Each structure stands twice: as structure tokens, then as C-alpha cells.
Amino acid sequence: MSQYDIVIVGGGHAGIEAATISSYLNLKVLLVTFKKEKIGFPSCNPSIGGIGKSHLVYELDVLSGSMPILADKSGIHFKLLNSSKGPAVWSLRAQIDSSTYPANALKILNGFKNLTIVEDEVTDILVQSDRVIGVKLEKGQNIQTNYVVICSGTFLGGKIFIGNEQITGGRFSEKNSQKLSESLKSIGIKLIRLKTGTSPRLKKNSVDFSKMEEQKGEEDVGTFSILTDKVENRISCYITRTNEKTHKTIRDNLHLSALYSGNIEGKGPRYCPSLEDKVVKFSERKSHTIFIEPMGVDNEIVYVNGASSSLPVDIQLEYIHSIKGLEKSVFIQPGYAIEYDALKSKQIKPTLEHKNIKGLFFAGQINGTSGYEEAAAQGYVAGLNASLSYMKKEEIIFDRFNSYIGVLIDDIIKKDLTEPYRLFTSRSENRLYLRQDNSFVRLKDIAEKINIDDERRKLYKKIFEESEELKKIIYKDPDNFILKSEYEFLKDPSYPFESFKKLFPQFSTKTLLFIYSENKYRGYIEKYKRITKVVLENGERLIKNKKRLLSSPIISKEAKEIISKTDVERVKDLYGIIDPSDIENIIIILKKI
């Protein structure tokens, strides 16, 4: 029987990060995946980043994760979203090459001598006395291990829907993992069904781009990783729109949609609706935006973003051909809905370990999330904490005060998820503090504690030292954002970043953006620090006398509704569920009881 310190189940974005961090920490790692060449393959749209999601990628870079490097290396079209708004919500998005991303991911993983990748399927989790003791593989081998991270994506009990056709599979033309579902149920894991969907893929040379609006990539938008000097735009994306003919075709055939026929049990993502859903729920709209996204530089496939569907193939062809520029397009792969198994809420700890089975960790869509970035962040946390547990070191909890990773995990372990969860900046109460530009400061202590000796640590240390130097130049009291008299003009919130850059050409753009943003949001940050201090000091305070809280005039109606329906025991459990100002008032009341 082979023996490994940790086994990673699944080679998607969660699996990559779990395997990477475990390997960095010198564990003997086994990654089990169906096909090596499909490691990190984008099952849906070929992009990394975007609103809220990019913040996770920046945080992973500070922690020596793989996704930031992969996104920069494999990126072929870059844009900075929300650039007209404040830097707190700026979000970098990269269109990636769906061929080079998996190749680059495999190259990173193959660089670890202590990591073994096998093409097989984990069919059984072996448990004894509520403790993982190993896994069983489809090809018959038993692996001895005390730590398993399950990163199953949509493969766990996956079923594909195209009209009335139902196909067992974890992804188009790929098998699912049914036996693992049964194994999890047999050891007491409670599962639910969730659903997501994907759009058709078309032959690039069958699309008439001349009829569409070209979207070129943007220059000088930054990079995901501090290791990358500059990214390169190599392709354009294109915009077209649906029309009334498109909508009529969909309305006339709704009864044939798997989504509307009642065949699908699982609930889909609220923020990524199918085209059928858009036509039904937004019936007043005469058109919907469609993004045509090339899946690679030398790839002859384009992804039709915004046209996710579970209608029969012939109906999909009909409505796609009604769209400007797609009249003669040829299908390579139809859109489809996919239903899969996920954990019922509240079974895992903040470390992403199961509450009742020691050594069993979960990451990605199995935890009820959607998105590559959410999966990657969880894979990192699960792999990290499984490794630390193996090493008999203290596990690391990411809290929502300091990171979007913490916001994500806090939400999925506390909330009763009945649909796939997606991260947005609006999920955080402290989004003016949790920015892309200050990830290296927020996660500095955790990065030092993990202590991975790579080039990124050195570069971020240099940026931190630079920022401390710049603070001394413009502030007479940096801790309280008190500016020197000659820099009082920086109090003006409308003062542009480009002008700020010209004042201090000797400093890097990363340093300048961090200090500029800190100064811009100084009032909010001071308030945030005060609230955080109060909550942390009173976090363990027991919530007594709910009736008193529910009758108090200083607590909002929304907070009262949540408190009445939620079984929270301590003040810290309220953070992320209700407004911070309500928590402050609750603490005031509790101190008097």
C-alpha cells in the first residue's frame, strides 16, 4: 500500500492551489485527477479575475499561490473593471488561453519533486474512528493517508442536461465521479444538489466579427502577480446583442428547456443566469449583451459569454443564428446545464475541515461556491490547514476583517447556502479597506507565519519598506493619517492618482497606489479600525437575553430579524451577518445585562 502525507482529489483550480501549498510545505503529496492535460482547464468562460474575484487572486499572490502567476502567463486580454470608480473596487480581469493555462499549471506542479500526479479516480474515503486513514482508487490501489482535500468541482455526481437529454458526466465529454458521492454519504456527509450552466462554443472562422463591436485589451492595468513586469494583450474580444427574434425563439421553446421542464433538481447561481432565465425574468428588455471571447491565440474556438442554455441543440442553433455576426456560426459544443453534489451547509470549520471527520477537507464547488477564483482560494486554505495539521502546527484562520478569503469562507460556513455562492466586493462590510492595492499589508503577518521562501516574499517586503518610507515623507503622524502641512491638498478626495504619481516618480506604482488609496479612505479606515477593535475585544461575549436585544430601539429591524432566526452564541458570530454598527450597539446592551 502506498503512503502519502496528503491526497488531493481533483485537479481543478482548487486542487492546483491545495497541491501547490502542500508541496511548498514539503509534504509528500498525491494529486489524483482524471486527465493531466485537463488540470486547471476552464470549464466555463475562459477568464480569471473580475469584480471581487480579482481581490482573491491578489491575496493569493501575497501567499505564494499559483493562480496569479498562471493568469499573467496565460492571459491574452486584460481590462481593469470599475476604473471610473474608486480604487477600492478596481478589479483586474484577464481573458486566458484555455490551452496554455493547463499547460502552465502542469509545469508548476511538475516542478515539485515531492508531488506525484496520477490519472485515476478516488472512489472511496477510508475512515476509522472518525479519522481519515486513506482513499481507494478506481484502478484498485489503496492509498494510506490521514489527510484528504476533496476538490471535486462539478464532477461529484455530475449530470448534464441539454433539452430532454440527460448525460452522466462531470463536464462535456468527460465522466463524473459517482462512487465518491456514495462514499461520502456512507460516512455521514450530507449532500445537496446544485446546478450551473455554460454557453455554446463556436468555430472562430464561422463568426463574422466585422458586424460586432471590438473590445481591445487595456494597457498598463497592472498584473496579478508581483513577479510579472508587464502583461500582453494578444487578442480582442467582441460584443454583440440578442434581439426580439432571439427572445421569441427562446420563449416559444421554453417547455423544451431542462431548466423549465422540471428535470433539474438543483438551484442555479443567482448572478449568472441562463439566457432562458434572462428572457423570462427580464421580459421588458429588448436585448441582452453577448460577449464573444476567443479561447486562445492559436485556438479555433470562441466562447459565447452570456448565452448559457439547457435548450435542445437545434433550438440553441436557431437562437444563436439570430444574433448579429453569428448568423453562419458553427457549433463545436452546445451550451448545457450541469447538476452536481455539494455539501449541505454548516458541516465544515473555518479551516475547511469537516466538523466530525478528522483530516477530511473540502474546497471549491463542493462547498457551494461558483467561480475559479473562489475555488482557488479555498483550495489554498484547505491545503494549507491540512498541511499544518499534519505538521502538528497551529492552523490558520482567515477572518473577514483582513481578507476577501476570510469573507468568502466566513460566508460559506455561516450561511445556509441553497444556491451557488459568488463573491462580490459588496459581500464585505469593509470593502474600502479590503482592496487589491493593500493585499500585501493585510496578509503580511499570515504570509510571514507560513514562511514560504520565494521571490514574492522578498519583493513584497521591498514594497512594504518603500511604503513606510513614503509615509514618512507625507505624514507627520502616519498611524492617524495626519498630513504634513505641505501635503494638505491630498485631503481632497478628487485629487487624481496620475497627479499623485508625478509627485513621487522615485517610488513604484504599487507603493504609490497603496498610499494614495490609504489616504483617500483614511476616514473610513479609522472607523473600521475602531469597530474591529471593539468586535475583537468582545468577540467571545455570550449573546444573552435575546428578548432584550429584539426590543431595543437602537438595533435595526434587519438585524433583529436575523438575530431571531439565527442560532448565534457569541458576538463574533454576528460579524458578516449583520451591520457592524448594530454589533456595536449589541455590545453596549450586553455590557449592561
- Answer whether 26's CB lies under 8 Å from 116's CB: no
- Answer whether 463's CB lies under 8 Å from 470's CB: no
Q: What is the mean pLDDT of residues 195-202?
A: 97
Please give, one letter per residue, the 3-state secondary structure of 71-126: HHHHEEEEEEECCCCCHHHCEEEEEECCCHHHHHHHHHHHCCCCEEEEECCEEEEE
- The DSSP call for residue 217 is P
User: Look-up: residue for cell 498611524?
Assistant: 479
pLDDT at 591: 85
Tell which wins on pLDDT, 525 or 184: 184
| Topology (CATH) of 2-63+82-92+114-196+340-427 | FAD/NAD(P)-binding domain (3.50.50)
Percentage of the chain modeled with pLDDT above 70: 100
State yes or no: pLDDT of 505 exceeds 90.
yes
Give the full edge-to-edge strand order of the sheet including 191-198: 165-168, 159-162, 336-343, 191-198
Domain residue spans of the chain: 2-63+82-92+114-196+340-427, 201-338, 453-520, 539-592
| Topology (CATH) of 201-338 | Elongation Factor Tu (Ef-tu); domain 3 (2.40.30)
pTM attached to this predicted model: 0.94
The answer to which of 5-9, 56-60, 573-577 has the lowest mean pLDDT is: 573-577
pLDDT at 542: 81
Amino acid at 374: E
Q: What are the helix (H) ranges across 114-201?
A: 178-186
pLDDT at 574: 81
Task: Give 426's pLDDT tier (boundaries 50, 70, 90).
Answer: confident
Q: What is the mean pLDDT of residues 382-401?
A: 97
Residue 408 CB neighbour total at 10 angstroms = 30
Tell which wins on pLDDT, 522 or 460: 460
Phi-psi region of 64 (alpha: psi -120 to 50; beta: other; left: phi over 0): left
- The DSSP call for residue 475 is E
CA distance 82 to 41: 27
**CA atoms within 13 Å, Cβ hemisphere of 104:** 17
Q: What is the mean pLDDT of residues 342-364?
A: 98
pLDDT at 301: 98
For the stretch 538-577, pLDDT in tens is 888 888 778 888 888 888 888 888 888 777 778 877 877 7
pLDDT at 496: 92
The answer to which of 8-22, 253-267, 434-448 has the lowest mean pLDDT is: 253-267
State yes or no: pLDDT of 181 exceeds 80.
yes
Instruction: Select from 346, 376, 347 the least CA-distant residue to 363.
Output: 376
pLDDT at 541: 84
The H or E element spanning position 577 is none
Q: Cα 538 vs. chain centroid, distance in angstroms?
A: 30
Task: Give 461's pLDDT tier (boundaries 50, 70, 90).
Answer: very high
pLDDT at 132: 99
- The set of cell numbers assigned to 546 is 435575546
The H or E element spanning position 392 is none
Task: Give 218's pLDDT tier (boundaries 50, 70, 90).
Answer: very high
User: Look-up: residue for cell 481581490?
Assistant: 55
State yes or no: pLDDT of 324 exceeds 90.
yes
- The set of cell numbers assigned to 307 is 448565452
pLDDT at 533: 84
pLDDT at 216: 98
| Domains 2-63+82-92+114-196+340-427 and 201-338 belong to one CATH topology | no
pLDDT at 453: 83
Give, rounded to a whole angstrom, the gap between the first and last alpha carbons of the chain: 60
For the stretch 271-321, pLDDT in tens is 789 999 999 999 999 999 999 999 999 999 999 999 999 999 999 999 999
pLDDT at 582: 85
Instruction: Select from 387, 418, 430 the least CA-distant residue to 112.
Output: 387
User: Look-up: residue for cell 479555433?
Assistant: 300
Q: What is the mean pLDDT of residues 473-501?
A: 90
306: helix, strand or coil: coil
Q: What are the helix (H) ranges across 140-240?
A: 178-186
For the chain, give me the number of helices (H) and strands (E)? 19, 24
